[in-house]
Amino acid sequence: MQAGFVSSIIGVLTNFIIYWTFHPDYRTKIYNSINILGQSIVEDVFSSKFPYPVGYNMTIREQIESRGYVYEEHKIQTEDGYILTAFRVPCKKGENADSKTPIQMQHGLFDDGGSWFFNNETLDLSLQLVDQGYDVWSTNSRGTVYSNEHVNLTVNDKAYWDFSYHEMGKYDLPANLNYILNTTNQSQVVYFGHSQGTTQFFLGNSLTKDLSQYYKAFIGFAPVAHVSNSPSPLVKTLDLLEIPDLLLEYFWDLLYLPSIAPVAAPFLHFFPRTVWNFIQTLVGFDKVYHINLGTLPMMARNDVGGTSTKDLMHWIQNFRSGNFAQYDYGADQNMQIYGQKTPPNYDLASLKTTLAHVQILLVAGSDDALVASGDLKILQAALPDNTKTVAVDDYNHLDYMWSADVNSKVNSQVFQFLNSF
């Protein structure tokens, strides 16, 4: 392992030097990102610190119950043995939870189900939906701190981490759907997804065509399938340095992130601008801060979900190939698994018919570096013709949950859409 690791590092450095030398556009993006980060460090050092937010030390249960809502936790077992946790907020305390339309809210990559609850009491879309009479279920993907159980495996077993978003769409999506319908005695669900949460929906419905009859509507924030046009300098750097390849070979569970929360939270208190601008090298730079920087420490404590290294690798594979395809195991293993040397593409085109009866709203930000306009157009072409799209000016990939102006820029349009059918 040691010799192989050293050889890999040498290859990484060689790739970087070659690319840095011959690609001035990439070099300019890196220079600009470093300059912004440098300015942020200076500003963080010499600026007064934001106070820790109210509820900083609270759990998700404590946060929700302190606001006057009913909170439940549900365990959901998938066909392949993973045990998921869902946060349910059916109503306010003292209200009747019966006969409400269930809403499933599915978080994105590196997040968890808490991401829908840690902005502000008046800004969280999840609680506004409860106020409007919906039964809200926030589901946690496998591999997050809240969904880290299995009938036979533990997070210390390498086999536990043998999944990507493919398994989330194939197994987690139908398991959550069936459980919610059976528990609520309702016939359909409204699905909210963010980023990889939308990917699970597209993938799952392309693999299992009869799932779609159980969805009344789909709302996708930062909807993702293809990612080949991403302008993100951090994505390009991860690809260039072959970092996911190294992680997959030597550190298969490194992206299980909850262990960093005790360190990350106080660091975010002292350097919020620096951390947020580093994140923006991945998700896209806004012209102004939409996020409330003072809430970052609480998000770090409660919304650091994690995933498998294989999940990240799957995204990098699709970035490299330009396809929205199943996982690439290499030609020999692909022949054994798929019967062909290359991984098959997901049948996105089938969604135009499969989802024809589903009310669909896509919400995309103009500054989103992970949902490039070219990739969004490919997705739009695959969806039913009545799909609605809202373009949000100066929003990046994460602003939908964490911004201070999300009510006026996004949530109001979501409720207008929900009230239209």
Task: Tell me the torsion sign for CA atoms 319, 325, 330, 331.
Answer: negative
Q: Is 308 a catalytic residue?
A: no
Q: Is 195 a catalytic residue?
A: yes
**Active-site residue among 232, 397, 399, 403?**
397
Helices (H), ranges, 151-271: 165-167, 173-184, 196-207, 233-240, 243-250, 261-270
Q: Which of 90, 354, 42 is nearest to 208 (CA)?
A: 354
**Active-site residue among 239, 368, 375, 399?**
368
253: DSSP letter: T
377: DSSP letter: H
**Active-site residue among 195, 212, 232, 308?**
195
Q: Which amino acid is at 107?
A: H
As given in the structure block, the two tokens for residue 166 are: 């493919």
As given in the structure block, the two tokens for residue 217 are: 């509507």
With left for phi above 0 and alpha for psi between -120 and 50, is residue 242 left, alpha or beta? left
CA atoms within 13 A on the CB side of 1: 5
What is the longest distance spanned by two Cα atoms in the chain? 65
Placement of tokens 């990240």 in the chain: 312
Inter-CA distances, 135 with 81, 173, 175, 412, Å: 27, 18, 18, 19
Q: Which of 267, 103, 376 is nearest to 276 (CA)?
A: 267
**17: CB partners within 8 A, 6+ apart:** none
With left for phi above 0 and alpha for psi between -120 and 50, is residue 14 left, alpha or beta? alpha
Catalytic residues: 195, 368, 397
